Chain A
Amino acid sequence: MTGTTSAPAARAAPPAQSDDALVEAAQRGDLHAWERLVRRYQEPVYRVAWLVVRDTEMAEAATLSTFVRAFRALPSYAPDLGILPWLFRITAGESRQQRRESSRPTRSSRPVERMQGPHRPASPVPGVAHAAGLAPTDRTVVAEAFDRLGEEDRMVIAARYLFGLNRDDAASALSISSAMVEERLSGALKQLRVRMSGA
């Protein structure tokens, strides 16, 4: 070490830990590792939840319970399944549960507890860039055509193109065969085209 002083060199950001490494750390009881995974995937989870429940508060509650229940289930997590398909599967289940509970007849006048956590502006959805040439009203047409699809169709599209799962991972996420993923996806996109064209 010389006697000269200088500004410390800009330190390169540490490489992001892989999902597997974070899951392994969380399985060992490292809560910070789990928190990092939550922050990494809470937005796509929230979006998928919203596609199921179509209510932002319920989607937020489903997102919360997804990560809580996934943490509880970590001891039985099978690494060969992959964290994303696993999270997608839990998200779908939790979201449907939220929807069911919201329709359950209440036995008191006390309102169902709602989430009121911190919010921040949503990150841009990458796929929107492909729609750059569309007028705002056309975007609405596309979004509404998507909304009118059945839930199974919406979920297979979400698994493939929102969560970015490949065919086999989507099959795991949806608990169906890979062939069924292809079949359902093909049918869903066909339906989408039909609805967009107004047929």
Chain B
Amino acid sequence: MSNQSLPPSFLGMPDDQLGTVAVSLAVSELRWAPDVAPAVMDRISRDAVAYPEHFDRRPRPPMPPPAPIALPPSERSAKRAIGRLAVFAVILAIVVGLVVFAAGGTTGAWGADASPAPDEEASAGPSAGTEPNPEPTSFPFFDPATVSLRTDLFVDGLDAPVYLTDDGTGAQCLYVVERGGTVRLVRPDGELLGRPFLDISDRVRVGPEQGLHSLAFHPQFKKNGRFFVHYDSLPDGQSVIAEFKGRPCKSASNKATKASILTVDQPFTNNNAGWIGFGPDGYLYIPLGDGGGTDPGDPKGYGQLAEPLYSKVLRINVDKGKRYAIPSDNPYAKKRKGGFPPAMWARGLRDPRRSSFDRATGDLWIGDVGQRIEEVNRIPAGVPDLNFGWSDVEGEATCHPNVPDCDPSQFEPPVAFYDKVPPHRAITGGYVYRGEVFPELDGVYLFSDFASGFIWGLDADAVVAGQPATAYQLLDAPQGVVSFGEDDTGELYVVSLDGSVYRLGVDAS
């Protein structure tokens, strides 16, 4: 075909007309058009079962609205005590079950007697013992209609803050992690102190998903001064868990006390997760991502591979061993069955950037950034070896088409999930509120999305009791949320990558 045959009038046509013609001609070879409407409606109808209404922006209770309950502090304390008792009861039941099993008991007895039924746990609510609960499905702790969240600027002028935490000592300062490799000190009134708590920017590789991620204080920090950080190291972007020493509210030495507790090579620069934290059992928990790569997701298939540390939640004892020791109750502590690493506690996560422990129940709540679906996952206290399914499965029922004989039921389903579609892009895991100031939020897991800035709340206590979880949008926050933070009193903060930290509050309704 000779180009000269194109009429000059055509080549000289205005831009708008040329664009219209060109794209129209390009698609005009599509002689047939599919009618996808039947398939769409069929899929949506099936979703009504497999995909409950987790994300309704109009706050409305999932069941007939219960009377708002604003428990006085004494009752809230009682509720927490009951929650702790329930956890204790579960652990006790497991121990008893193990004894029975060791003594020759049957697995039937184990299953039937040792595990409390969800209804039994639900009956441990506030009404237990005072009046019968005729509808055990009703779980009236959290009424979203009574909650109107707000964010109050706490401190700004930070350089790409990514995390906030407290040291557990009662000292009058908070610690804000900046992505570039510094930890800043902030007074309770929001005063930003000049000298950083820590500055390791000379060894931190910074990128959109790289940098200094988080900080975890040893439970005995006041006595031993030990704290731990998770960062991506120069020059290769390895994930490093390193230990330092310092004192509350004082600048710490930049020299790590140990070269590193743990170093993990990262084949890509994304999906590096980031949060680390000590559980109520005193062990350090380290959720790791799948090694990264986006085209396609999990290109090396690490998500379900046994041996690599990727996609695992690690659980280590930093009080023993040269660098660390393996807790004896880790599922693969002694026998390397299936090739799983001894440090593994759970697996099947893609990019668990932000996690937290519920300080009342000890459950680990995980915000797992997905390829197509964002997930809230939960590891009940003391429950090992859960598999959340990545990269075979996302959400509850979305199997990857290339996975043979995919059976989502073999994986632990998320507590809640939503699609990675605009305006949402990446979940920011949060905290179960256990503060004293806002009783309306007691037991509510708050989380967000980095892109949309929406803040949702779901009733964590209801989840523990085996009730359906519905996440309600409580705030359309103007700022992207890269992390939440929690202080020693249980009050929550919202960390925005734009340089600000906000204190979370509730407007009286």
Contacts and interface: CB of A to CB of B under 8 A. Distances in A.
A100 interface: yes
A6 interface: no
A60 B36 contact: yes
10 contacts: A34-B44, A38-B37, A107-B301, A107-B402, A108-B402, A108-B405, A119-B34, A127-B20, A133-B9, A185-B19
Contact of B36 (A64, A131, A140): A64
B131 interface: no
A189 B39 contact: no
Contact of B30 (A56, A75, A133): A56
B11 A197 contact: yes
Interface string A133-163: 1110111111101110000001001101110
Contacts of A154: 23, 26
Given A104-B299, A110-B404, A157-B19, A76 B423 contact: yes
B3 A197 contact: yes
Contacts of B10: 131, 133-134, 138
A123 B400 CA distance: 33
Interface in B316-359: none
Contacts of A64: 36, 39-40, 43
B208 interface: no
B interface SS class: mixed
- Name the residue in B23, B297, B422 with the highest tally of chain A Cβ atoms < 10 Å from its Cβ: B23
Interface in A16-64: 31, 34-35, 38-39, 42-43, 46-47, 50-51, 56, 60, 63-64
Interface stretch (B49-57, B166-174, B273-281): B49-57
B5 interface: yes
B34 A60 contact: yes
A176 interface: no
Contact of B452 (A42, A76, A90, A188): A76
Nearest to A96: B295
B41 A117 contact: no
A97 interface: yes
A120 B401 contact: no
B28 A128 contact: yes
Contacts of B21: 127-128, 130-131, 142
B5 A128 contact: no
Contacts, number: 240
Contact of A113 (B31, B47, B295, B401): B401
Given A90-B421, A104-B296, A140-B1, A128 B24 contact: yes
Contacts of B36: 38, 42, 46, 60, 63-64, 67, 115, 117
Given A123-B33, A131-B24, A145-B22, A31 B41 contact: yes
B27 A125 contact: yes
Interface in A154-199: 154, 157-158, 160-162, 175, 185-186, 188-189, 192-193, 196-198
B454 interface: yes
Given A97-B372, A145-B22, A39 B11 contact: no
B134 interface: no
Interface in A75-102: 75-76, 78, 81, 86, 89-90, 93, 97, 100-101
B35 interface: yes
Interface in B405-447: 405, 418-419, 421-424
Interface residues of A, number: 85
B6 A196 contact: yes
Given A38-B36, A112-B402, A142-B22, A31 B44 contact: yes
A198 B3 contact: yes
B406 to A, nearest CB: 10
Contacts of B189: none
A64 to B, nearest CB: 5
Given A143-B26, A185-B15, 16 more contacts: A60-B34, A75-B55, A76-B55, A93-B422, A100-B295, A108-B405, A112-B402, A113-B401, A138-B1, A142-B22, A142-B26, A143-B25, A158-B23, A161-B19, A162-B24, A162-B27
Interface in B362-396: 372
Interface in B246-301: 294-297, 299, 301
Contacts of A118: 34-35, 38
A28 B57 CA distance: 12
B34 A147 contact: no
Given A43-B33, A97-B372, A127-B20, A137 B25 contact: no
A140 B29 CA distance: 10
B315 to A, nearest CB: 29
A73 B419 contact: yes
Contact of B18 (A31, A193, A198): A193
Closest 3 CB pairs of A and B: A127-B24, A108-B404, A104-B296
Contacts of A2: none
A143 B33 contact: no
B403 A137 contact: no
Nearest to B29: A143
A128 B43 contact: no
A39 B39 CA distance: 12
Nearest to B294: A100
Contacts of B64: none
Contacts of A134: 6-7, 10
Given A42-B37, A97-B372, A133-B10, A141 B295 contact: no
B34 A106 contact: no
Nearest to B12: A193
A108 B405 CA distance: 9
Given A42-B34, A135-B5, A47 B40 contact: no
B135 interface: no
Contacts of B27: 47, 50-51, 125, 162
A3 interface: no
A133 to B, nearest CB: 6
Nearest to B449: A76
Nearest to B56: A75
A81 B36 CA distance: 24
Contacts of A139: 25, 28
A73 B44 CA distance: 12
A121 to B, nearest CB: 6
Contact of A68 (B15, B20, B26, B43): B43
